[in-house]
Amino acid sequence: MPMESLTKSLNRAVHRGKPCVVCGRQEVKSLYTYCYHERTSDIVQCVNCGHLYMDPVPLVELNTRTMDGVADSEFWGNAFLQGLHERLVFNREIRAVRKFLPGGTPRLLDIGSGTGWATFIWQKNRFAVTGLEPSLERTKRARELYRIPVVHSHIENFSTTELYDIVVMRHLLEHIEHPDQMLRKVRSFLKPGGLLLIIIPNINSIGRHLFRENWEWVLPWHLHFYTPKTLSRLLEKVGFEKLKVYQMPSPLWYPHTINKALFGSAPRFKFPHIIAVLLSLPIVFLGMLLNLNDNMTLIFRNSASAALKG
């Protein structure tokens, strides 16, 4: 048996699993079975609300969540790709959140700040930034290269008396086993009316519908697979109020997925076959047309009126 495989589940009958974090119900269907070393987990779907998650989680140790790589989180140092990402993705986020913030220099906490590049862009745009990062390797790089204040800690072990105007969670929440607990903690870092910006994969994407088990599920690290609807519902449940949700394509994943589907498994971040690159373009555009992109951006507000429920 290979060390790692994702296959269609043979038993799709409704059964009881661990409670769904979005709606609390326990009736699920197994869509896929994931084998990782000797462990087996399912990607299950809640029959009630449609939320998808791993049951049980394949990685149980907190430290296995730490990602130490430095090159991949900054587009391998490629200035063209970095510039494109800054213009199309970061600047759009900054414009979007500015509309909901008072003027001046908002205090920002970037949870999972990684190597600091994204945090630095916020700083460049007049935000008073603090990073929070569990990888020592990435923390050091952010401090040395970008001169950013970064706290080296998992969020589970982090506490602060500061209150922030905005908290950013970029490609983080999908790694968290108990996102409801974490979001409640994040809410306690925010001023009343403070903003939460989440950038996260959207599992209701054209790539996932077309490629199913060949889609880049980013296993074993991703534990929950959200859609705009399921994540909004979870955020509202823990006391946030929706301000804006939009989707963005992340075309880098498509060539690798097509490569895997056509030519067998492809190592992540290696350059794919040119046919796979060409075939990915119409799929990305179709995703944009149908609003089935593979990333989503959510801007929510710490709702003062939800404080009693929280």
C-alpha dihedral, 99 to 307 to 178 to 268, nearest 10° = 0
Q: Which residues contact 297 (CB under 8 A, 6 or more apart)?
A: 92, 93, 96, 197, 198, 199, 244, 245, 246, 247, 248
Q: How far is Cα 129 from Cα 119, in angstroms, rounded to an integer?
A: 7
Give the type of residue at 144. Answer: E
CB of 203 to Zn ion, least distance (A): 14
Nearer to Zn ion, 20 or 258 (CB): 20
Nearer to Zn ion, 48 or 291 (CB): 48
Nearer to Zn ion, 22 or 121 (CB): 22
CB of 107 to Zn ion, least distance (A): 34
CB of 58 to Zn ion, least distance (A): 20
On whether the CB atoms of residues 231 and 197 are closer than 8 A, the answer is no
Residues that bind Zn ion (CB under 5 A): 20, 22-23, 46, 48-49, 51
Q: Which of 98, 138, 101, 100 is nearest to 119 (CA)?
A: 138
Q: How far is Cα 205 from Cα 194, in angstroms, rounded to an integer?
A: 29
CB atoms within 10 A of CB 295: 17
CB of 232 to Zn ion, least distance (A): 13
Nearer to Zn ion, 113 or 230 (CB): 230
On whether the CB atoms of residues 65 and 175 are closer than 8 A, the answer is yes
Nearer to Zn ion, 135 or 204 (CB): 204
CB of 46 to Zn ion, least distance (A): 3
Nearer to Zn ion, 86 or 180 (CB): 180
Q: Where are the beta strands (DSSP E) in the chain?
A: 4-8, 15-16, 27-36, 39-46, 52-55, 107-111, 128-133, 150-152, 164-170, 190-201, 224-225, 240-248, 295-302
CB of 48 to Zn ion, least distance (A): 5
Alpha-carbon distances, residue 115 vs 66, 118, 152 (angstroms): 12, 8, 12
CB of 212 to Zn ion, least distance (A): 21
Nearer to Zn ion, 45 or 280 (CB): 45
CB atoms within 10 A of CB 159: 9
For 157, half-sphere exposure in the C-beta direction (CA atoms, 13 angstrom radius) is 8
Nearer to Zn ion, 9 or 82 (CB): 9
CB of 23 to Zn ion, least distance (A): 3
